[in-house]
Structure 1
Amino acid sequence: MSTPEQRSRAAKVAIYSRLATADRKQMTAAANRANRDRFERQVDPEGVLEPGERARRAEYARKAYFTALAAKSAEARARRRAA
């Protein structure tokens, strides 16, 4: 059985090797598409909006989500500093 450090090192070798030989955009394309689709379904669950309007609203929903996430992260860091 390997130690956590050995597993971590092996994982780093694997990902660095993959990144050296792969197109990063292609590697993340499916995840990016799923993320975009998630916000589009959130703003237009019935699928009735025009594609441009759905995309515009989805972009704002994405910005709102990540802004709220950043605020939570900042609050957590502030709590850790205060402790």
Structure 2
Amino acid sequence: MPADQTPDAFRQQIGRIGAHVSWANTADRTARTAPGRAALDRKFLDEAGGDPVRAAHLRKAYFQRLALKSAQARRRRKAGA
């Protein structure tokens, strides 16, 4: 481990390298991520009691909350910089 890095930073960097190598060796990205997308869709459908329209709204609300948190974090980072 380089002297200028903490153990956590070093592990994160090694993990990023591994992720890039893994994705570089992935021929079909869509197929690789399909199980995760299907599981998330199933989660919203289950939460909506099987109603696909309601599930779509729950999904949109979920991603809107993520976007809001992301914007808040960017504002905090900008204010701290």
Specify if TM > 0.5: yes
Q: Cα deviation per residue 1:26-71 (whole Å; 9 max; x = unaligned)?
A: 1111111100000011111xx5xxxxxx111111100011001101
1 CA distance for matches of 2:69 and 2:15?
31
| Identical-pair percentage | 38
Q: State the 1:16 CA deviation.
A: 0.4
Structure number with the bigger relative contact order (C-alpha 8 A, sep ≥ 6) is 1
Residue 78 of structure 1: which of 71, 75, 78 is its match? 75
TM superposition score normalised by structure 1:
0.69
Q: How many residues align?
A: 71
Residues 25 and 78 of structure 1: is their aligned pair in 2 closer, same or farther, counting only changes over 3 Å?
same
1 CA distance for matches of 2:32 and 2:17?
21
Any unmatched runs of 5+ in structure 2?
Answer: 3-9
- Who is 2:56 aligned against? 59
TM superposition score normalised by structure 2:
0.70
Residue 31 of structure 2: which of 26, 32, 36 is its match? 26
Any unmatched runs of 5+ in structure 1?
Answer: 48-53
> How much is the aligned-residue C-alpha RMSD, in angstroms?
2.2
- Who is 2:5 aligned against? none
